[in-house]
Amino acid sequence: MQIFPRNSNAIARASLIIVAVVVGGLGWGVWELERTPYITNVGVRKPQPVPFSHQHHVTGLGIDCRYCHTSVEVSSFAGIPPTKTCMNCHSQIWTNAAFLEPVRESFRSGRSIEWSRVNQVPNFVYFNHSIHINKGVGCNTCHGPIDKMPLVYQAASLQMEFCLDCHRAPEKYVRPRSEVFNMRYEPPGFGNHVDFNGTTYKDQTELGNVLKTQYKVRSVKDITSCNTCHR
């Protein structure tokens, strides 16, 4: 006596295929969702208590990054400038501008301005600004064209794959330390050249390998080890 109809096997196989397609599709959807601005915040401009423009201060006025981010070369944090840094200029210019009242109030009261942090790695990731700067990683390698941003946004995903892209081949990214804070720096290649220690380099990989040795960048095995960033 036949219990199951003749097409049972075909139905079972079709069901397995449908389940596999649905599960695979859901997995692909989650994979793609993790890389959207909804999750990474790439390109998102967060509201700030004061509309500070890097474009105006850096490109327009030529202020060096380190004037405000004083600890970036010696600390794991870039640092948010105290209100006193703002008032070095704004006690003399734009003294009555309405949009700068939160700055003046902060200076009068001694209460820090509560800025919304834009670039932030998860708490389980160890990141040190000073190490990267001393190894020749430029500001705009991670922060993008911040000197052209009227309002700061996150330029890179800051996800693990973004970090590993550099850690697996640092010679593609490192530059002379003298150029770390140069927002308009262009790596050698495509007709451009960079002079370093009396030698002209027309290829980034060639220059990068020289800099890796001189700046004592650790081996790829070391800097891609899990405990380098997850401590």
| pLDDT given for residue 4 in this prediction | 64
The domain ranges of the chain are 44-80+115-229
CA–CA gap between residue 167 and residue 230 (Å, rounded): 14
Beta bridge partners of 203: none
| pLDDT given for residue 201 in this prediction | 96
CA–CA gap between residue 34 and residue 219 (Å, rounded): 29
Q: Determine the 3-state secondary structure of 51 from DSSP.
A: coil
Record the pTM: 0.83
CA–CA gap between residue 102 and residue 82 (Å, rounded): 13
Tens-digit pLDDT profile for residues 114-123:
999 999 898 9
Sequence-distant (≥ 6) Cβ neighbours of residue 81 within 8 angstroms: 68, 69, 70
Tokens standing for residue 109:
């009261």
| pLDDT given for residue 5 in this prediction | 72
| pLDDT given for residue 1 in this prediction | 57
| pLDDT given for residue 86 in this prediction | 96
Tokens standing for residue 128:
């040190």
Task: Output the CA–CA distances (angstroms, integers) from residue 65 to 8, 27, 129, 226, in the order listed.
Answer: 70, 42, 13, 31
pLDDT 10s per residue in the chain (231 long)? 556 677 777 777 888 888 888 888 888 877 777 778 888 889 999 899 999 999 999 999 999 999 999 999 999 988 889 999 999 999 999 999 999 999 999 999 999 999 999 998 989 999 999 999 999 999 999 999 999 999 999 999 999 999 999 999 999 999 999 999 999 999 999 889 999 999 999 999 999 999 999 999 999 999 999 999 998
| pLDDT given for residue 2 in this prediction | 59
Sequence-distant (≥ 6) Cβ neighbours of residue 57 within 8 angstroms: 63
Of the candidates 51, 48, 45, 150, the residue with the CA atom closest to the CA atom of residue 98: 51
| pLDDT given for residue 229 in this prediction | 94
